[in-house]
Structure 1
Amino acid sequence: MDQTVNHRTGPDDSPAFSRVCVVGAGVMGAAIAAHIANAGIPVLLLDRVEGEDRSSLAKGAIARMLRTEPAPFMDPAAAKLIQPGNIEDNLDAVSECDWIIEAIIERPDLKQALYKRLDTVRRPGTPISSNTSTIPLVFLTANMPETFRRDFLITHFFNPPRYMRLLELVRGPETDHAHVTRLTTFCDRNLGKTIVNAKDTPGFIANRIGTFWMLVAVKTAIESGLTVEQVDAVIGRPFGIPKTGVFGLIDLVGVDLMPHINASMKATLPENDRYRLFSDDIALIGKMIEAGNTGRKGNGGFYRLNRKGSDKFKESIDLTTGAYALSERFSLPSHVKRAEDLMTSPDKLGVYARRVMGETLAYAASLVPEISDDIIGIDKAMELGFNWKKGPFALIDQIGPSRFAALLQTQDIPVPQIVEKVGSGKFYEYHEDVLNAFTPEESYKPVPRAEGILLLEDIRKRGKPVLSNKSGALWDIGDGVACFEITTKMNTFDENVLSILEEAIGHVKNSFRALVLHTDADNFSAGANIGLALFAANMAAWGETQKLVQKGQKVLKALKYAPFPVVAAPAGLALGGGCELILHADVVQAHAELYTGLVECGVGLIPGWGGCGEMLLRLRADPRTPHGPIPATREVFEMIAMARVSKSAAEAKRMHILRKSDGITMNRDRVLADAKARALAMIEGYIPPEQPEFHVSGASGRTAFIMAIDGMAKQGLATPHDRVVSGELATVLTGNGHDVTEIVSEKQMMDLESASFMRLIRTSPTLDRIEHMLETGKPLRN
């Protein structure tokens, strides 16, 4: 698999584990195997014997994952790194593996029986871990030999393993600390995980708190007579919780899992645990499971899609009667924007919020140090395991710990000791620009950062930007390296972004040695602000639009030919102009989850800031591209015309948006540090690139593309405006009348882009596409 992962571990600069075994090819086990393969590590995937093909379960799991969306594999080629087998015929192959992961059904008896078999074939000292989500380690290792207990841990991945960053690591009292170190390093650097050390308690951290939160929310909603829409609006965005809220989340993970998790927790929790107050079976959930309403994997759950003829419509369940009716969108009052607004609101929604979040946050606070030695582990587990923007203690800080304690008293909820101890203070405070966390010992300690992690959020706390305006900023990240970030909504481009970037290029030239393009926002850049483009078009401000196109070209080319190294460090979305920005960097050091592409055709435009030419250069520089101008042009044409977006950084390499030499970092928190290291390595002897020349395919090439477009239109695969947009794209890529024997300069290529862009922005169908995208978030097929 053509993938560069910078982080390697071990004395010879190789991964700590050269081969891993996963036993259990169910949903979780197979997906864990896929993600290890994403890191370029061979995997032995075993399951029981079933059917004529004795390894059919493992083989079927691999085939299924190649069809699954969202994809467990970052690149389909990674599937070749997984060797399927079964525990009868291939058990001896376990001896060739450096780490063994058990991911079978949640039954201690079956797990122990498997461990005894694995113990006979594994090499002495090979770590073995369980992916259990609820069973304490002490139960799993009972009656196992001391040599096994020394090598055993729990590595609890969250589903889906590729996308969920949390990994809870549980060690036993006899676990060899060397295993903890090796696994922590490997899972952090090679698998991109944030490791939270959890204690050996039921449900560990995230599931202990998260399942309690869901139980309280469901039971209280039924008792309060609220609708599922009201609950998900309340226990959602105001608290920094994903818009799925509670009921949408249960539908996602499976309604049928709730009773199993509840039973497992009740079997192992202390008798006085507050969880038990809410752990009685919920009759409605039992009826839903009987009816097959188990969530998205079944006939629907608390929400479901129904059809009437060709129309689809969303329904939701009545929490009292269990009947389905048309789902009615519910919005919170305009004055309710934050958690503290809801927690003090006198209406029934406020009463509900106080009860549910009061119980949940108090429960989390009461579990320090039972489940985690500090508040940091609990907050990280909920942020990464349940996608909360703020963990429980950060949320209590937002509400105010003293106010929170008073709210608990009005609800007859015991105030946890640690909340009493922090008093009128905060759980997190900055001391000398370093973030510190409150401890059970009533002191503060710095929030640790693992070695090799550099975050813009830390840089921001230590000082002011070198340059800034309302749309972007330039930061000093040390060692003569500057970092430019966009700060608009979705990091979209506007005139102010281009202005501050232009100013930053000049400032770096005089005061720094290299530049990194990065942000710690969710997305690198969603491209140009098309809302502003539509506004300008409605005002017929064509001159202003053309100036913006030309300024974008000027600034990005200034970036490309700057007298210092430029490293782009993107993550998340890098679309349209965001993709063009990284195309103009000397080097890209991308996060593994990079979704990038030139998508302008989707809104009736073509790339206007050099994207067409830069993609042609990348294709032609690849020795795998056949000689001559047509093959490279055809591939670029298809990619841009179809608005293809990579589903990973690995796929971005196959699309040639990333070069073979560009790097991929698995851990999001390490991207900036890796990019800075790349920049520093380039400084000595740096020479800017030479201006290229383009060999175009000319009129004959354009004719071929137009014929292909017409053929697609006849088959109903291209709309009338697709033909117009694709025709302009073909005009640019083939040189607009330049003969195949002529050389086209970069300046001429940019002029062609600008001219085609301006012709398209003046058309009504393009403006309709832009307006439709802004209103619906979906492309218009006109």
Structure 2
Amino acid sequence: MSQSVKPIPASEENRILSRVCVIGAGVMGAGIAAHIASAGVPVLLLDRAEGGDRSSLAKTAIERMLKTDPSPFMDPATAKLITPGNIEDHLADVAGCDWILEAIIERPDLKQALYKKLDAVRHPGTPVSSNTSTIPLHTLTEGMPEAFKKDFLVTHFFNPPRYMRLLEIVSAPETDPTHVTKLTTFCDCVLGKTVVKAKDTPGFIANRIGTFWMLVAVKTAIDSGLTIEQVDAVIGRPFGIPKTGIFGLIDLVGVDLIPHINASMKATLPANDRYRDFADDIPLIGRMIETGYTGRKGKGGFYRLNRKGSEKIKESVNLLTGEYVLSERFILPPHLKRAEDLMTSDDRLGACARQVMGETLAYAASLVPEISDDIAGIDKAMERGFNWKKGPFALIDQIGPARFATLLQSLDIPVPPLVARVGTGRFYEERDNVPHELTPAGTYKPVPRAEGILLLDDIRKRGKPVLSGKSGALWDIGDGIACFEITTKMNTFDENVLTILENAITHVKDHFKALVLYTDADNFSAGANIGLALFAVNMAAWSETLKLVLKGQKVLKALKYAPFPVVAAPAGLALGGGCELILHSDAIQAHAELYTGLVECGVGLIPGWGGCGEMLLRLRADPRTPRGPMPATREVFEMIAMARVSKSAAEARRMHILRKTDGITMNRDRVLADAKTRALTMIEGYVAPEQPEFHVPGEAGYTAFTMAVDGMVRQGTATPHDRIVSGELASVLTGGSHDVTENVSEQQMMDLESRSFMRLIHTIPTLDRIEHMLETGKPLRN
């Protein structure tokens, strides 16, 4: 749940559901229960009564999730909010729940039998929903009482519920609209979902289009003679599709899913639906399933890891023979990096792209208004349900609707009426700085936007930044609040980022009331650009390296002591320097999926921009930390030395990177608005913090830390270079040569950081670690 000043609409009816019942403790039902509990809402989880402990299925599901990695819980402690039970002994308890969500096996007869039992015990007017992905709503409610139909919906979560942002809501004409409003608000504001309203049609929106796309891709790949790697490269990043591509995605969701999809769609789709042209059984997939190659959950799928001794070799299926061969990475030629270039290329790669994406985008356009009247909703469904960067209609706009229509004609694919209607225009237009979308009637309407959502992309479309450089920009987001964003790859820090941030601080001081640090990108910041650092070191540019360290310290402290509030709004990765940036902010309004930490020791360095001191201040400000110089120092030492990274914002709070007063927002699209609200509340009477002094443990503390690491080296759990790196870290945190009776100023702490950083970057093992991280993305244990 968003924990900003005004996290969700104030209406008491829509504010929050006090308790939710989930029935079905399988992977999906249990995952939904875990996500609801992660939002701080109590859950009753029921399944069949089985064995001596009649609630063992639900209990086992909770235990299993606590051991699962990645975890379905944002905070394992919230597992206590789930009460396990069974539908024979505890069904009457649903009367105390505000929403009943069914997630049992996909059989209408079993679901309806359950609904009849629920109808006898639920509180009148309580919404009941099914998590079905294949059964139409009207089938589920057939023969049920009218009062039950009024309270029934479909709420289709995507797997895994914690990480997939899409939720499709389907209602019937007789469904009480207040249930749709209430559950939409709850799932958006409290559970953090992008809620898309779908019509009661087979597969709803995302699965209807997404599974069609997968089927077309597999059949096209087999017919094209291309390798799996080539197809994944073509139907991948040029179209804003994750690097898993088609075949990696099928391995992830399960190869054995395809026959089930085919059977379900054949049973429910109209006779003339183009889906049916691709829904025939695929012999290769049948053979893979028979031999246990069902994807990542089986022995492998289209890709597998084959062990030869201690070595793992990646292999892939030859689509013509069905045999596994060595997987060879395929890189698209530079002139085929864009979707529009691939779609018009005359080679086999272009032919594959045209066939797969031509069929898919045309199919999506042909389904309006059958599956939805809202093309923006369809785009959101594919973006959030299949992780496309752009949905079908945004992709057609990128290619050019008129050009796309011509391509379809060349492929003998019928041009959908909506594509013909848009002609030389576009599906999306900006009108009076408001994004508009084409309607089925051929007119334009504003793209629906829930209250409380603010995106930097919206600000970007309305004008130019007040300050900009090649590595960052400063935006006016209204009400006297400025927003600074980093614009480098992975939002890494270089000297240009520090320069534009330094200029932004000065500009905000003169023209704004507060500053928010934010980006719409997937990751807040992956830290310093270690590639540039390695280049500088290889050139023996030691003075330039030191200059960057000192400049980073100067700029982040200028941020900390600026005469205006600074609110960091991180999401995704906030590592190393990115973590130090948020540590220097007055407040943090984080997205729930925040993966942050001071990870410099992983590449043989230590935090160099004030991170050590800021973490000490956070630990010592917590009244739960024992008094004295050693307890806080020990905890910070262990966290930094082990390069710990939070697996959620909740864990970042336990690590003290987030304070108790910092906020967590569940919905990614609401982070900026919540951060802006937070900044507005801090303006009146704002006073910059005073410079601290540090009570350090001195030489005794340094000795204790180094002895502990020496023991780990002897046991083989730490390497010889770990001893050197942790020794420098210990020196900084314990005050260097300062005695336990002396306090260390903030500037002295930063001086210790910069000296230790420079000593480490002179060492060959540290350079080896940096180079290995750049080449493999993994830490080197040397």
Shorter chain as denominator, the TM-score bin is over 0.9
The residue type paired with residue 89 of structure 1 is D
Match of 1:723 in 2: 723
Q: Is the 8 A contact 2:202 2:269 kept in 1?
A: yes
Taking the aligned partners of 1:322 and 1:245, their CA distance within structure 2 comes to: 19
> Per-residue deviation at 1:448?
2.2
Match of 2:763 in 1: 763
Aligned residue runs from structure 1 range 383-532, under 5 A: 383-532=383-532
Aligned residue runs from structure 1 range 133-282, under 5 A: 133-282=133-282
Q: Is the 8 A contact 1:433 1:462 kept in 2?
A: yes
Taking the aligned partners of 2:212 and 2:44, their CA distance within structure 1 comes to: 36
> Per-residue deviation at 1:15?
4.0
The residue type paired with residue 585 of structure 2 is A
1:359-382 CA distance string (max 9 Å, x none):
111100000000010211111111
Q: Is the 8 A contact 2:14 2:186 kept in 1?
A: no
Taking the aligned partners of 1:523 and 1:394, their CA distance within structure 2 comes to: 22
Match of 1:335 in 2: 335
Q: Is the 8 A contact 1:198 1:204 kept in 2?
A: yes
Taking the aligned partners of 2:2 and 2:705, their CA distance within structure 1 comes to: 30
Taking the aligned partners of 2:577 and 2:371, their CA distance within structure 1 comes to: 46
1:493-544 CA distance string (max 9 Å, x none):
1111111111111111111111111111111111111111111111111111
1:50-95 CA distance string (max 9 Å, x none):
2221111111111111111221100110111101111111111111
> Per-residue deviation at 1:585?
0.5
The residue type paired with residue 172 of structure 1 is A
Taking the aligned partners of 2:13 and 2:67, their CA distance within structure 1 comes to: 34
Taking the aligned partners of 1:464 and 1:626, their CA distance within structure 2 comes to: 50
> Per-residue deviation at 1:5?
9.4
Secondary structure (helix, strand or coil) at the match of 1:246 reads helix
Taking the aligned partners of 1:2 and 1:497, their CA distance within structure 2 comes to: 30
Taking the aligned partners of 2:328 and 2:758, their CA distance within structure 1 comes to: 42
Aligned residue runs from structure 1 range 58-97, under 5 A: 58-97=58-97
Match of 1:55 in 2: 55
Percent of matched pairs sharing the same residue: 81
1:113-142 CA distance string (max 9 Å, x none):
111111111100000100001211000000
Taking the aligned partners of 2:151 and 2:272, their CA distance within structure 1 comes to: 33
Taking the aligned partners of 1:12 and 1:451, their CA distance within structure 2 comes to: 16
> Per-residue deviation at 1:286?
1.4
Taking the aligned partners of 1:10 and 1:580, their CA distance within structure 2 comes to: 35
Secondary structure (helix, strand or coil) at the match of 2:430 reads strand
Secondary structure (helix, strand or coil) at the match of 1:590 reads strand
Q: Is the 8 A contact 1:240 1:389 kept in 2?
A: yes
The residue type paired with residue 414 of structure 1 is P
Match of 1:648 in 2: 648
Q: Is the 8 A contact 1:5 1:666 kept in 2?
A: no
Gaps of 5+ in 1: none
Q: Which one is further off, 590-599 or 767-776?
A: 767-776
Match of 1:702 in 2: 702
The residue type paired with residue 659 of structure 1 is R
Match of 2:669 in 1: 669
Match of 2:542 in 1: 542
Match of 1:779 in 2: 779
Q: Is the 8 A contact 1:5 1:190 kept in 2?
A: no
Taking the aligned partners of 1:547 and 1:639, their CA distance within structure 2 comes to: 27
Taking the aligned partners of 1:764 and 1:16, their CA distance within structure 2 comes to: 56
> Per-residue deviation at 1:3?
7.8
> Per-residue deviation at 1:721?
0.8
> Per-residue deviation at 1:8?
4.1
Aligned residue runs from structure 1 range 723-762, under 5 A: 723-762=723-762
Secondary structure (helix, strand or coil) at the match of 2:589 reads strand
Taking the aligned partners of 2:292 and 2:559, their CA distance within structure 1 comes to: 57
> Per-residue deviation at 1:461?
1.1
The residue type paired with residue 434 of structure 1 is V
Taking the aligned partners of 1:70 and 1:490, their CA distance within structure 2 comes to: 22
Q: Is the 8 A contact 1:589 1:664 kept in 2?
A: yes
Secondary structure (helix, strand or coil) at the match of 1:175 reads coil
The residue type paired with residue 345 of structure 1 is S
Q: Which one is further off, 9-18 or 97-106?
A: 9-18
Q: Is the 8 A contact 1:525 1:575 kept in 2?
A: yes
Match of 2:294 in 1: 294
The residue type paired with residue 436 of structure 2 is N
1:566-599 CA distance string (max 9 Å, x none):
1111101000000000000010000001000000
Q: Which one is further off, 1-10 or 682-691?
A: 1-10
Taking the aligned partners of 2:263 and 2:400, their CA distance within structure 1 comes to: 35
The number of residues matched between the two structures is 782
- Residues 590 and 2 (structure 1 numbering): CA distance in 2 closer, same or farther, change over 3 Å? closer
Secondary structure (helix, strand or coil) at the match of 1:180 reads helix
Taking the aligned partners of 2:432 and 2:285, their CA distance within structure 1 comes to: 51
Residue 356 of structure 2 is aligned to residue 356 of structure 1: yes
The residue type paired with residue 474 of structure 1 is L
Taking the aligned partners of 1:220 and 1:512, their CA distance within structure 2 comes to: 55
1:97-121 CA distance string (max 9 Å, x none):
0000000111111111111111111
Secondary structure (helix, strand or coil) at the match of 1:680 reads helix
Taking the aligned partners of 2:13 and 2:638, their CA distance within structure 1 comes to: 40
Taking the aligned partners of 1:5 and 1:122, their CA distance within structure 2 comes to: 34
Secondary structure (helix, strand or coil) at the match of 1:596 reads strand
The residue type paired with residue 239 of structure 1 is F
1:613-640 CA distance string (max 9 Å, x none):
0000100111111111111111000000
1:258-304 CA distance string (max 9 Å, x none):
11121111111111111111111111111111111110000111111
Q: Which one is further off, 210-219 or 434-443?
A: 434-443
Q: Is the 8 A contact 2:575 2:599 kept in 1?
A: yes
Taking the aligned partners of 2:126 and 2:477, their CA distance within structure 1 comes to: 40
Match of 1:105 in 2: 105
Secondary structure (helix, strand or coil) at the match of 2:497 reads helix
Taking the aligned partners of 1:666 and 1:175, their CA distance within structure 2 comes to: 27
Match of 1:27 in 2: 27
Taking the aligned partners of 1:10 and 1:82, their CA distance within structure 2 comes to: 26
The residue type paired with residue 514 of structure 1 is A
Secondary structure (helix, strand or coil) at the match of 1:533 reads helix
The residue type paired with residue 257 of structure 1 is L
Q: Is the 8 A contact 1:5 1:665 kept in 2?
A: no
Taking the aligned partners of 1:671 and 1:13, their CA distance within structure 2 comes to: 23
Taking the aligned partners of 2:773 and 2:13, their CA distance within structure 1 comes to: 47
> Per-residue deviation at 1:2?
13
The residue type paired with residue 683 of structure 2 is I
TM (normalized to structure 2)?
0.99
> Per-residue deviation at 1:16?
2.3
Taking the aligned partners of 1:331 and 1:679, their CA distance within structure 2 comes to: 45
Match of 1:37 in 2: 37
Match of 1:637 in 2: 637
Taking the aligned partners of 1:10 and 1:45, their CA distance within structure 2 comes to: 28
Secondary structure (helix, strand or coil) at the match of 1:335 reads helix
- Residues 722 and 14 (structure 1 numbering): CA distance in 2 closer, same or farther, change over 3 Å? farther
Taking the aligned partners of 1:182 and 1:706, their CA distance within structure 2 comes to: 57
Taking the aligned partners of 2:539 and 2:245, their CA distance within structure 1 comes to: 41
Taking the aligned partners of 1:674 and 1:572, their CA distance within structure 2 comes to: 17
Match of 1:120 in 2: 120
Q: Which one is further off, 343-352 or 525-534?
A: 343-352
- Residues 691 and 190 (structure 1 numbering): CA distance in 2 closer, same or farther, change over 3 Å? same
Secondary structure (helix, strand or coil) at the match of 1:208 reads helix
- Residues 13 and 554 (structure 1 numbering): CA distance in 2 closer, same or farther, change over 3 Å? farther
Q: Is the 8 A contact 2:619 2:625 kept in 1?
A: yes
Q: Is the 8 A contact 2:5 2:677 kept in 1?
A: no
Match of 1:583 in 2: 583
Match of 1:619 in 2: 619
Taking the aligned partners of 1:500 and 1:559, their CA distance within structure 2 comes to: 12
Match of 1:689 in 2: 689
TM (normalized to structure 1)?
0.99
Match of 1:373 in 2: 373
